[in-house]
Amino acid sequence: MIEEQGTVIELRGKHIAAVLCEKSSFCKNCASMEACQVGTDNKSKVIEAHNSIGAQVGERVRLVTSTKNFLQSSFVLYMVPLIALLVGAVIGNLVGEKLEGVDPNLLSAILGTAFLAGSYMVIKVGSRAIPKENYMPRIVEIIPLDEHLPDDLKNGN
């Protein structure tokens, strides 16, 4: 399980919340860290999460996503387009070698790029058919105010 903590900043619909989280050490190694919605201070990020427990704006919450969902999403977003690029390039090269007057390398590049772009369009259209709740993080707990305060403030200093 991958866990994050953040503050609910917006409710988007009945069971969706926008949560502002600090970038964690996990973010530093993420291949898509530049693609996530990073805050203006470049130290925070906004995450859409399934809000089945009814957290309200301003509450501190704990988010959880399964490693399985994270890996599946990463595979679809990164490996499927790469595989499509390679398949397109191989098909373009094979067809280019059989046709006279056509440069196999040029046809390979064109078909590889077309397959890559096509795979992104298929992913975009296909992801609309999957309910958001199936792959987005879930808010699992509202953190009491005193749990996330520094020790000095808990003791009244």
- Provide the residue-wise pLDDT of the chain in tens; the chain has 157 residues: 788 888 999 898 888 889 988 766 555 555 455 445 555 556 678 888 888 898 889 899 998 887 887 788 888 889 999 999 999 999 999 999 999 888 999 999 999 999 999 999 999 888 888 776 677 888 898 888 765 555 554 444 4
CATH number of the domain where residue 147 is located: 2.40.50.140
84 vs 125: CA distance, rounded Å:
16
Same structural domain, 53 and 78: no
The pLDDT of residue 35: 45
What's the number of domains the chain is made of?
A: 2
Helix axis angle, 80-98 relative to 104-128, nearest 10°?
150
The verdict on 136 and 124 lying in the same domain is no
Residues 13 and 35 in one domain: yes
Domain span at 43:
2-66+132-154
pTM for this one? 0.61
Are 122 and 143 part of one and the same domain? no
Backbone angles phi, psi at 115, to 5 degrees: -65, -40
Neighbours of 8 (CB within 10 A): 20
